[in-house]
């Protein structure tokens, strides 16, 4: 069909990108409804610490990103439930704290600034076969967990206390959700970049919400928007030599603006 | 043989609740039995919601014991026996992506296993709850587009969908107009009489107490339990606790 699929790296990038679109949009629905939008930004910065550690110590940066993002997600959830702190303050503290640690590790390491750049903004060229495998394995687990508990997570997003009174294990499921989100974000930074993944997680859902339909339809619309944005973003980035992550985000922004306009009362 | 031993649904003994040194509830003891229709009244800040939150395990008492269906609250597992409609229920976020059916389905979530689709039993329970609350024709409507009274009925349908033995409603009439309120009390009475669902509802508006209330609890740091509400409303002790003159209540009732 298209010239770009003659390149193996583009095939890999598309596969990884579509998987990430699915994961980011479905998890994003719960994140947005729980008023956790900033969580994705914070975890993306925490994942950078993992990348920095991985690059400095010679481990697979993607695996390290997953581990550090999960630890960070648990820490946020622990702080939120244990201390009298505002959720958004915790997120702001963790975000800048993570970035500071990542920058220091990077500057101590010295030589790997260029590869870090690809994690900040995403780079389709850098997606390896190993990365695709990592995304498939962890992504399937994350997706299975989300689908398994989607009705509980939806209930919790609607009203945490009523969900608790009806016998749902709210605390456990909140930890599960942030864990899954941490995994998805860490997996995404190869393609979209840690500075931009928050957009792919949040904007498709916020766009879908403009159509004012039920939960299932909202999730499906968000899924379609995310996949469309990734495909069109990657295609544009290939033909016009644009950075992939940023182009994907611009595409999803266009979808958002159109959704706002179309549904304007 | 004539005395049948009854295990109360709620058995509360010597409950104290302090927050930052301030005593919200002190030495509250009460029992709620199957089939009762109870109103909890008291001024704002008197501790009504705190009491309910402790009964539901959302807050831990500073002192005292709570048993649910004869079990210590920490060991209690059968939460679907309790339907809870919180204070802010009818003030839902207008942007939340939920149809009426989405919300009522939530009432079945804790009964379903992971991954599982709704069973026939789930579907029947949801439909039944919607019929009882007269909202079947609204099922595909977005909750955000409904009136206060309609939302209130949706929230109660959600609580009913788990086939609870007791329904607890905290200030259910917040944001609901007067006509809907009257309809609402008629519905509660019907659920109590025809379905034998125990009803406990909280209100700060003493004027709305319906005629068919079985017992009345007045909560203002302490609890006073009146087994005959009509007498209770004129009792001096009660009006003293509540802080308003008892005869006002009767006047208020006659206005409608």
Does the beta-carbon distance from A162 to B84 stay under 8 Å?
Answer: yes
CATH number belonging to domain B10-255: 3.40.50.300
Check residue B255 and give its pLDDT.
40
- Work out the average pLDDT over B137-163: 91
Does the beta-carbon distance from A168 to B109 stay under 8 Å?
Answer: yes
**B window 48-67, beta carbon within 8 A of A:** 56-58
Give the integer Cα–Cα distance in Å for B45 and B60.
Answer: 18
Give the integer Cα–Cα distance in Å for B168 and B14.
Answer: 21
The fraction of chain B above a pLDDT of 70, given in percent, is 80
What A129-135 contacts at long range (C-beta under 8 Å, 24+ apart), as own/partner pairs, is A129/A12, A130/A60, A131/A12, A131/A16, A131/A62, A131/A190, A132/A12, A132/A15, A132/A16, A134/A60, A134/A62, A134/A63, A134/A187, A135/A16, A135/A19, A135/A20, A135/A187, A135/A190
Query: Closest to A214 (Cβ–Cβ): which among B77, B78, B99?
Result: B99
pLDDT band at B245 (very low <50, low <70, confident <90, very high): very low
Lowest mean pLDDT among A141-155, B133-147, B205-219: B205-219
Check residue B210 and give its pLDDT.
59
Residue-wise pLDDT for B48-66, tens only, equals 889 999 999 999 999 999 9
Answer whether B103's CB lies under 8 Å from A158's CB: yes
Does the beta-carbon distance from A209 to B57 stay under 8 Å?
Answer: no
pLDDT band at A179 (very low <50, low <70, confident <90, very high): very high
Could you tell me the domains of chain A?
Answer: 3-198 (1.10.3470.10)
B96 in helix, strand or coil? coil
pLDDT band at B247 (very low <50, low <70, confident <90, very high): very low
- Work out the average pLDDT over B123-142: 93
Sheet holding B37-41, edge to edge: B82-85, B166-170, B198-203, B37-41, B215-220, B222-226
- Structural tokens at position A243: 């950075």
Does the beta-carbon distance from A212 to B114 stay under 8 Å?
Answer: no
pLDDT band at B234 (very low <50, low <70, confident <90, very high): low
Cβ neighbours for B94, distance < 8 A, ≥ 6 positions apart: B144, B145
- Work out the average pLDDT over A154-174: 92
Task: Tell me the domain boundaries of chain B.
Answer: 10-255
Answer whether B191's CB lies under 8 Å from B14's CB: no
Backbone angles phi, psi at A45, to 5 degrees: -70, -35
Give the integer Cα–Cα distance in Å for B146 and A29.
Answer: 23
The residue in chain B having the minimum alpha-carbon distance to the alpha carbon of residue A208 is B97
Instruction: Give yes or no for residue B251 having a pLDDT over 50.
Output: no
- Work out the average pLDDT over A36-45: 91
- Work out the average pLDDT over A60-75: 91
Q: Nearest to residue B188, comparing CAs of B167, B204, B214, B206?
A: B167
Distance from CA of A112 to the nearest CA of B (A): 44
Residue-wise pLDDT for B156-203, tens only, equals 999 999 999 999 998 877 767 777 777 888 888 889 999 899 999 888
The answer to whether B44 faces chain A, any CB pair under 8 Å, is no
Query: Closest to B109 (Cβ–Cβ): which among A155, A161, A215?
Result: A155
Residue-wise pLDDT for A207-260, tens only, equals 999 999 999 999 999 999 999 999 999 999 999 998 888 999 999 999 999 999
Give the integer Cα–Cα distance in Å for B65 and B72.
Answer: 8
Check residue A25 and give its pLDDT.
95
Cβ neighbours for A45, distance < 8 A, ≥ 6 positions apart: A94, A95, A98, A99, A102, A194
Give the integer Cα–Cα distance in Å for A13 and A22.
Answer: 14
Residue-wise pLDDT for B64-92, tens only, equals 999 999 999 989 988 989 999 987 766 66
User: In A, which residues are within 8 Å of B90 by CB distance?
Assistant: none
Which of A166, A173, A176, A260 is the best substitution to test chain B (most B C-beta atoms within 10 A)? A166
Question: How far are the Cα atoms of B12, B65, B200, B226 from residue B5, in angstroms, in the given order?
Answer: 17, 20, 22, 22
On the CB side of A144, how many CA atoms lie within 13 Å of its CA? 6
Give the integer Cα–Cα distance in Å for B49 and B17.
Answer: 12
Cβ neighbours for B11, distance < 8 A, ≥ 6 positions apart: B31, B65, B66, B67, B68, B70
Check residue B131 and give its pLDDT.
93
Does the beta-carbon distance from A149 to B114 stay under 8 Å?
Answer: yes
Q: Cα angle at A85 between B57 and A45, to 5 degrees?
A: 120
Query: Closest to A214 (Cβ–Cβ): which among B58, B97, B112?
Result: B97
Give the integer Cα–Cα distance in Å for B106 and A154.
Answer: 9
The ipTM of this complex is: 0.85
Question: How far are the Cα atoms of B37, B200, B228, B229 from residue B211, in angstroms, in the given order?
Answer: 11, 15, 11, 9
């Amino acid at each position: 069909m298209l010239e770009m699929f003659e390149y193996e790296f583009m095939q890999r990038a598309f596969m990884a990108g579509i998987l990430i679109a699915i994961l980011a949009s479905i998890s994003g629905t719960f994140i947005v409804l729980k008023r956790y939008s900033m969580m994705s930004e914070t975890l993306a910065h925490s994942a950078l610490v993992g990348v920095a550690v991985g690059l400095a110590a010679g481990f697979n940066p993607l695996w390290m990103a997953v581990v550090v993002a999960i630890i960070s997600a648990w820490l946020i959830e622990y702080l939120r439930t244990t201390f009298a702190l505002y959720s958004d303050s915790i997120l702001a503290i963790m975000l800048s704290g993570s970035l500071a640690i990542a920058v220091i590790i990077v500057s101590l390491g010295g030589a790997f600034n260029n590869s870090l750049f690809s994690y900040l903004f995403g780079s389709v060229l850098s997606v390896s076969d190993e990365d695709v495998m990592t995304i498939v394995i962890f992504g399937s687990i994350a997706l299975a967990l989300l689908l398994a508990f989607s009705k509980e997570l939806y209930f919790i997003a609607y009203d945490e206390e009523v969900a608790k009174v009806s016998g749902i294990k709210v605390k456990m499921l909140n930890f599960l959700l942030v864990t899954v989100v941490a995994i998805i974000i860490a997996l995404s930074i190869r393609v979209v970049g840690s500075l931009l993944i928050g957009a792919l997680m949040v904007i498709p859902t916020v766009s879908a919400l403009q159509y004012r339909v039920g939960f299932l339809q909202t999730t499906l619309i968000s899924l379609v928007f995310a996949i469309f944005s990734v495909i069109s973003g990657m295609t544009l980035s290939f033909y016009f030599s644009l950075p992939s992550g940023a182009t994907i985000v611009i595409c999803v922004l266009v979808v958002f603006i159109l959704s706002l306009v179309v549904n304007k009362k | 043989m004539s005395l049948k031993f009854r295990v109360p649904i709620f058995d509360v003994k010597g409950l104290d609740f302090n927050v930052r040194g301030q005593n919200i509830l002190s030495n509250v003891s009460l029992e709620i039995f199957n089939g009762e229709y109870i109103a909890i009244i008291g001024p704002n800040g008197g501790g009504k919601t705190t009491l309910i939150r402790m009964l539901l395990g959302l807050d831990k008492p500073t002192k005292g014991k709570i048993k649910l269906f004869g079990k210590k609250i920490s060991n209690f597992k059968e939460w679907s026996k309790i339907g809870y409609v919180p204070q802010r229920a009818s003030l839902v976020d207008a942007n939340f992506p939920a149809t009426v059916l989405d919300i009522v389905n939530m009432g079945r979530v804790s009964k379903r296993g992971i991954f599982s689709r709704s069973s026939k039993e789930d579907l029947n329970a949801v439909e039944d709850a919607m019929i009882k609350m007269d909202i079947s024709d609204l099922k595909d409507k977005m909750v955000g587009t409904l009136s206060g009274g309609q939302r209130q009925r949706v929230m109660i349908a959600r609580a009913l969908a788990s086939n609870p033995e007791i329904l607890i409603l905290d200030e259910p009439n917040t944001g609901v107009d007067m006509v809907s309120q009257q309809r609402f009390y008629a519905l509660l009475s019907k659920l109590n009489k025809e379905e034998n669902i125990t009803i406990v509802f909280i209100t700060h508006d003493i004027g709305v107490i319906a005629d068919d209330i079985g017992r009345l609890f007045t909560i203002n740091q302490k609890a006073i339990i009146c087994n005959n509400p009509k007498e209770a409303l004129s009792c001096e002790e009660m009006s003293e606790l509540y802080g308003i003159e008892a005869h006002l209540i009767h006047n208020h009732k006659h206005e409608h």
